[in-house]
Structure 1
């Protein structure tokens, strides 16, 4: 099942994705047409995620009935982030190859000569990004005036469907509601200045619409094995990055276990995978220009497309 949030007729609505995104079943309208009642539990994606099995049964029923009067064409909607207001966003570094490639480019040495800190391989480390600066598929990304080195990052993310503290490795997969594509846009010139301070990332990641999720959330049962997916990036139609989720050193279960240590996690949190090897311009020495269109594709999760504007 693929679930989206869209703007339709001036209102934010949740939707079931049909025909690979060509059409959408507007959930509130479909429920009203089939029952004569409104369904507050379908009003937002956060409520759907929190709703558990009862909401899933409702979604299965609506998917089966799918009244045509509740279907909208993709051309009639504006895509929003499937979770317009995530409870939290943590971005992890699950792909060591990305860090080796990036450091090799910065330091001018072969990637196989880059030695990563042992802690990066021992623990699925993460940083918090701005959960209030999120946009969706087909949105223009206005680049901040303080940066001239524009970069994409090819990632995917899991959405938590259940919370908890000190979650075990055995239980962790059951906490995943679904998966989505994630573009963690980065102002690289600003980032290099910031990391030199040792204080971590700031305005290199924190600008309007820097975090892009979408085009929808694919539920975990439909994805199957999330560590056998192909990840591809294209700029203006030309393939520039290709990788696989099989290269993840830390799994999402690892991330859930680590992040939940002595900390309560909540339904609706987003965990980013980090960038797949070759998955950004920094690794190639090729960056984005105003007007460029970036497409990130993860097999089974869809294509996330955005244009960068000055």
Structure 2
């Protein structure tokens, strides 16, 4: 099943996607209700979809397919790490710690946007970038899962774009913490959530061989296969749940695939080519079996208020 959320007559509704149409589902269901159904239950529900209305995909106003309480963004593609490390840190050497476990940062779930939603240019950046990823959705609240146990708790997948202001990110990470304002302004998830059973034809061991591509203004920039992950989604969830709760509806993103970000190319080439994103650019990401997401970069909306620099302790306490 492909499960979408969309606006219709002022309400946010749930529907299935089939034959280039969104078909309505009963209003008393939410996303996790459907994603955690058994396969026979979902098949029966899909057979009954569209009783209230059917809308061509081109006419649908999508909203993010889920509203997670937490999002974790991993870094599981080695070749991307090598290239972007050179861009951000000036060296192609990958830290030995990267190989120990699937590292992740927490993302801002309140800045999640949908397919076709505009992305205002963040203030103070001259290096806006995209990041081509795939995200998994967790179906239930879990803790301390083994890798084998994790498989039954992953209930769907979607295309994910982790928008990044690279110049801001580079400066922030000099503090030896993860990025903050360089990433918290927008992330795209969509266009819908695809259940795992639909991806079985692509399975190779514990990976999915899904071709991933990203284009800017209809010109392809990069491509990779999801099968090149250094850790599987089950391993990512197992690690995230070790001695910690992962909530129902939480999103786990892979991090950027090889060739899935401009910064990786800047690091490899030593020049900012292709150039950073500009107002008017349209970024489109497509993943086999999951669909595609597109967003246009628009003019900055934020007033860009800044706090003052830190005051020296020598200046004494305030007040």
TM-score (norm 1): 0.87
Matched, 1:95 2:81: no
TM-score (norm 2): 0.85
Match of 2:221 among 225, 237, 240: 240
Match of 2:245 among 264, 270, 274: 264
Alpha-carbon shift at residue 227 of structure 1 (Å)? 2.6
Matches within 5 A, 1:1-310: 1-19=1-19, 22-28=20-26, 40=28, 42=29, 44-49=30-35, 51-53=36-38, 57-67=40-50, 69-83=52-66, 85-106=67-88, 114-207=92-185, 210-224=186-200, 225=203, 226-284=207-265, 285=272, 286=274, 287-310=276-299
Alpha-carbon shift at residue 61 of structure 1 (Å)? 1.7
Match of 1:170, SS?
A: helix
> Number of residues paired by the alignment?
286
Confirm or deny: 8 A CA contact 2:25 2:50 kept in the other structure. Answer: no
Confirm or deny: 8 A CA contact 1:52 1:161 kept in the other structure. Answer: no
Any stretches of 5+ residues in structure 1 without a counterpart? Answer: 29-38
Match of 1:308, SS?
A: strand
Alpha-carbon shift at residue 148 of structure 1 (Å)? 2.1
Distance 1:136 1:187, change over 3 A: same
Any stretches of 5+ residues in structure 2 without a counterpart? Answer: 266-271, 300-319
Q: Distance in 2 between matches of 1:105 and 1:204?
A: 15
Alpha-carbon shift at residue 14 of structure 1 (Å)? 0.7
CA RMSD of aligned residues (A): 1.7
Alpha-carbon shift at residue 67 of structure 1 (Å)? 4.4
The structure whose Rg is larger is 2
Alpha-carbon shift at residue 192 of structure 1 (Å)? 0.7
Alpha-carbon shift at residue 57 of structure 1 (Å)? 4.6
Confirm or deny: 8 A CA contact 2:17 2:23 kept in the other structure. Answer: yes
Alpha-carbon shift at residue 58 of structure 1 (Å)? 4.5
CA deviations 1:185-225 (Å, max 9, x no partner) are: 00111001101111221100112xx1100001010111122
CA deviations 1:212-266 (Å, max 9, x no partner) are: 0000101011112243111100110010011111211111111111111111222
Which residue pairs with 1:35 in the alignment?
none
